[in-house]
């Protein structure tokens, strides 16, 4: 006769087995499709660049050294690779700004949709996803058409007599920002909506009842309760934003590079694949650490809230 404790233990073991079994397909795909290529990149970062791109199979740490340091071509001395830092800093800044901007625009949008009657919500969500139907490149060129010197905004402003010289918006950080906000907004709205939909709006009423103004209700009740959506949305926007390639190369021109453009440069004209590989791993590691800190802090502050 098995005791109750034994039966419980067996049930638990069965549960664990089932869980592994059910998640096996996903795990296999992740292992093969994500970890495999990453390992190749990591491996390449320790090789020597070939003369016409590609790599020669000889161990070298030069790729990693040049992530952080610059070797002077004349006297071979090392100095700090400030260009890389500048580009990384710009990427980080733009990605953060884009995340905040999508949050600022996405929050009211998601709130609006979540407070519509159930039947019309689907229509609004459908409208939000329409931009996904179009290729990213085309959407980015659409933004370009709007903000370039002969574009919609400048033409309109000149015709209205508000300005007489076009405002230079294209090929600035601002242009990259606008492009990223436009492209990534749905990625913020959808998870925000998902958590707002679950929000019990009677709590909002309870807040009003207890003398909280609209702003206080937002800050003290709605925001803490939809925090999971804010966290998810921020991550979904921040990760592709810091790795953005198409948007900065179309809207930022040649000089306002972001990190992805720098990496691409090493694999292309730069002919320094190990450096490109090392840069990729570096940015990935930084993003991972940043996300861990972010997630830990936001979920921790929820417990301490109030």
Partner 1 sequence: MPDTPGKNAIEVRGVRKVFGTGEAQVAALDTVSVSIRENEFFTLLGPSGCGKTTLLRLIAGFDFPSEGEILLYGSDIAPLPPFKRPVNTVFQSYALFPHMTVAENIGFGLEMLGKPRAEIDARVAEMLKLVRMEKLAKRRTSQISGGQQQRVALARALAPQPKVLLLDEPLSALDYKLRKEMQIELKRLQHETGITFIFVTHDQEEALTMSDRIAVMSSGKILQVGSAREIYDRPAVRFVADFIGETNFLDASIDSIDGGKAKVTLKSGATISATVADGFKPDGDATVVIRPEHAKAVKGTGDISGVVENVVYFGTDTHVHVRLDDGETFTVRQQNTRGAMMEFERGERVGIVIGDDAAQILKD
Our CB check for partner 1 shows the closer of 116 and 305 to be 305
| Nearest distance in Å: CB 306, partner 1 | 4
Q: How far is the CB of 112 from partner 1 (least distance, A)?
A: 19
Query: CB of residue 227 vs partner 1: minimum separation in angstroms?
Result: 8
| Nearer CB in complex with partner 1: 194/212 | 212
To partner 1, the closest distance from the beta carbon of 238 in angstroms equals: 24
Name which of 97 and 225 has its Cβ closer to partner 1.
225
Pick 173 or 302: Cβ nearer partner 1: 302
Shortest approach of partner 1 to residue 109 CB, angstroms? Answer: 23
CB of 205 to partner 1, least distance (A): 5
Q: Which is nearer to partner 1, 80 or 201 (CB)?
A: 201
The first and second tokens of residue 158, run together, are 């000149």
Place of tokens 């998601």: 110
Closer Cβ to partner 1, 132 or 208, answer by number? 208
Please report how close the Cβ of residue 207 comes to partner 1 at its closest, in angstroms: 8
Burial zone of 262 (CB within 10 Å; 0-12 exposed, 13-18 middle, 19+ buried): buried
Q: Contact residues for partner 1 (CB under 8 A)?
A: 200, 202-203, 205-213, 216, 220-221, 224-225, 302, 305-306
Rounded CA-CA distance 150/170 in Å is: 10
Query: Which residue number, 100 or 225, has a Cβ lying nearer to partner 1?
Result: 225
Supply the minimum distance, in Å, between the C-beta of residue 123 and partner 1.
19
| Residue 152 or 210 having the CB closest to partner 1 | 210
* Contact of 131 with 186, CB cutoff 8 Å: yes
Tell me whether residue 18 is exposed, middle or buried, using C-beta atoms within 10 angstroms of its C-beta: 0 to 12, 13 to 18, 19 or more: exposed
């Amino acid at each position: 006769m098995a005791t109750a404790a034994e039966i419980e233990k067996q049930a638990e073991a069965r549960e664990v087995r089932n869980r592994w079994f059910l998640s096996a397909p996903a795990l296999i795909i992740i292992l093969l499709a994500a970890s495999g290529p990453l390992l190749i990149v990591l491996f390449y970062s320790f090789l020597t660049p070939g003369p016409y791109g590609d790599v020669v199979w000889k161990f070298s740490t030069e790729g990693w050294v040049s992530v952080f340091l610059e070797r002077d071509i004349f006297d071979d001395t090392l100095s700090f690779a400030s260009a890389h830092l500048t580009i990384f800093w710009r990427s980080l800044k733009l990605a953060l700004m884009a995340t905040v901007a999508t949050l600022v625009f996405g929050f009211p949008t998601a709130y609006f949709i979540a407070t519509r009657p159930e039947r019309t919500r689907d229509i609004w969500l459908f409208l939000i996803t329409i931009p996904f139907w179009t290729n990213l490149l085309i959407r980015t060129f659409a933004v370009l058409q709007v903000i370039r010197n002969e574009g919609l905004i400048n033409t309109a402003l000149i015709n209205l007599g508000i300005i007489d010289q076009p405002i230079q918006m294209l090929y600035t950080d601002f242009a990259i920002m606008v492009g990223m906000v436009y492209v990534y907004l749905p990625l913020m709205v959808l998870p925000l909506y998902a958590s707002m939909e679950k929000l019990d709006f009677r709590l909002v009423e309870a807040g009003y009842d207890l003398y909280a103004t609209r702003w206080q209700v937002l800050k003290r009740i709605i925001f803490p309760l939809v925090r999971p959506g804010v966290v998810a949305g921020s991550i979904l926007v921040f990760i592709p934003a810091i790795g953005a390639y198409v948007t900065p190369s179309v809207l930022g021109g040649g000089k306002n590079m972001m990190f992805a453009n720098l990496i691409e440069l090493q694999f292309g004209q730069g002919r320094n694949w190990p450096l490109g590989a090392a840069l990729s791993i570096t940015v990935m590691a930084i993003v991972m650490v940043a996300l861990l800190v972010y997630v830990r802090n936001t979920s921790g502050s929820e417990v301490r809230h109030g």
